[in-house]
C-alpha cells in the first residue's frame, strides 16, 4: 500500500451504506490518493463498481476472498 493510501472497513454494513461511506471517504481525499475498501455485502460489488464509473474514479483492483471484497480505488477527480 502506498503512503497516501487510506483504508475503509465497511464490513457488517449493508446496501447502500458501503457505497455511501466510500463516497464520503473519497470526498475527503486528494486526487491521486488510493482508498482500500473492505466490504462483505454482496451488493457492494455492483454498488462500489458503479460508484467508481459514475464519479470517474479508477477501480484499480477488486479482490474476492469468500464473502470479503477488497476494492482498491484511485481518486481521479
Q: What is the SS3 assignment for 20?
A: helix
CA distance 77 to 74: 9
Q: Which three cell numbers stand for residue 77?
A: 477527480
Residue ranges per structural domain of the chain: 6-74
8, 15, 29, 38: which one is catalytic? 15
Q: Is 52 a catalytic residue?
A: no
The predicted structure's pLDDT at residue 26: 97
Per-residue pLDDT tens digits of the chain, which is 77 residues long: 444 589 999 999 999 999 999 999 999 999 999 999 999 999 999 999 999 999 999 999 999 999 999 999 999 98
CA distance 10 to 35: 12
**Which residues are bridge partners to 65 per DSSP?**
68
Q: What is the SS3 assignment for 50?
A: helix
Domain 6-74 grouped into CATH 3.20.20.450: no
Amino acid at each position: 500500500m502506498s503512503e497516501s493510501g487510506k483504508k475503509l472497513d465497511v464490513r457488517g454494513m449493508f446496501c447502500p451504506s458501503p457505497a455511501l461511506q466510500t463516497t464520503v471517504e473519497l470526498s475527503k481525499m486528494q486526487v491521486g490518493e488510493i482508498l482500500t475498501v473492505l466490504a462483505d455485502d454482496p451488493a457492494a460489488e455492483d454498488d462500489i463498481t458503479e460508484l467508481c464509473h459514475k464519479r470517474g474514479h479508477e477501480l484499480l483492483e477488486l479482490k474476492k476472498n469468500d464473502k470479503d471484497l477488497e476494492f482498491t480505488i484511485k481518486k481521479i477527480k
